[in-house]
Structure 1
């Protein structure tokens, strides 16, 4: 993966430990695995972040941070991926997970109204929280597994491509050197 690009946006470990708002985490921030950029760390961070993004709870970022600490994966990536669910994408994502949960439970799903109101949302949550959470967990697990596999394959492809490019350069360089020596 393009490590240099990701590293530009990664926080400095010492600055994280000096943050007053993060002092309650204490020794947990000393884990070097929380900021590593390895294939396993990034793929697991994607898995944690995307799973947490699909769970309709407040403080998803805290949940993602706890998951990253528990699984020793990249903390900033897992927390940042929670923002997949934002005010624009949230209604569509959670309504889709609700439909999946209703389908699995065999419950008739309520149609989405023409105009989204807080009253409709409150009624939907009151009536349909079980299908919503069931669908969210199932879709969250599926998307987390797919993202983990996808990141591992993408990372492997990128490394393989880099190695092949290096091999080609190493093969071309001796030929050019011979051409220069012959002149």
Structure 2
């Protein structure tokens, strides 16, 4: 069941191989293990993709791909999960990670208004930056572990159910 659900949402591997941005990885993209979907590759892909979804850096997809390749987990799933944080979800997710960082570090929550300027970014790095980075790393780690475990449990449960159904027949 999880395999069928996941495969429905995965992009075509031929389109990903033709992506010019991912061409920096060269022939490594032709490894069949990067495209195969099984319990090991799916749970690892969830861990990689969810981790980089919560890391506030540009080129999250490239970072997810760069980690998925040596770990030999499902590449399309790793890259697709990074889009959990998209332009619509980034503000609430990253504000939430900031609040987690504030709570963990014991800092006072600071009011701020986002401005797309270099001056605002430089000033914010020293004021809200530490809490934001700690919160992002903590949320990324927790999401990665939870995603890994949930996919593993769901996959095992699905296989067990299929075996029981076959045994009954």
Q: How many residues align?
A: 164
Q: State the partner residue of 2:92.
A: 92
Show structure 2 runs of 5+ residues with no match: none
- Structure 1 residues 89-120: Cα deviation after superposition (integer angstroms, max 9, x where no partner): 11111111111112222221124x7xx64269
Structure 1 pair 108/46, CA: closer, same or farther in 2 (3 Å)?
A: same
- Aligned equivalents of 1:42 and 1:20: distance in 2? 22
- Aligned equivalents of 2:54 and 2:16: distance in 1? 27
Check whether the contact 2:46–2:78 (CA below 8 A) recurs between aligned residues: yes
- Structure 1 residues 143-172: Cα deviation after superposition (integer angstroms, max 9, x where no partner): 10011000000001111111111112x2xx
Q: State the partner residue of 1:11.
A: 12
Structure 1 pair 93/5, CA: closer, same or farther in 2 (3 Å)?
A: closer
SS in 1 for 2:128: helix
Structure 1 pair 27/161, CA: closer, same or farther in 2 (3 Å)?
A: same
The Cα RMSD (Å) is 2.3
- Aligned equivalents of 2:146 and 2:160: distance in 1? 21
**Given the two structures, how large is their TM-score scaled by the length of structure 2?**
0.85
Task: Map 1:18-97 onto structure 2 (within 5 A).
Answer: 19=18, 21=20, 22-97=22-97
Aligned-pair CA distance for 1:66: 0.7
Check whether the contact 2:16–2:76 (CA below 8 A) recurs between aligned residues: no
Q: State the partner residue of 2:141.
A: 141
Show structure 1 runs of 5+ residues with no match: 171-183
- Aligned equivalents of 1:29 and 1:89: distance in 2? 29
Of structures 1 and 2, the larger Rg is shown by 1
**Does residue 119 of structure 2 align to residue 118 of structure 1?**
no
Aligned-pair CA distance for 1:126: 5.2
- Structure 1 residues 40-89: Cα deviation after superposition (integer angstroms, max 9, x where no partner): 10000000000000000011111111111121100000100011101221
SS in 2 for 1:29: helix
Task: Map 1:160-171 onto structure 2 (within 5 A).
Answer: 160-168=160-168, 170=169
Q: State the partner residue of 1:108.
A: 108
Structure 1 pair 156/98, CA: closer, same or farther in 2 (3 Å)?
A: same
- Aligned equivalents of 2:135 and 2:5: distance in 1? 35
- Aligned equivalents of 2:5 and 2:154: distance in 1? 15
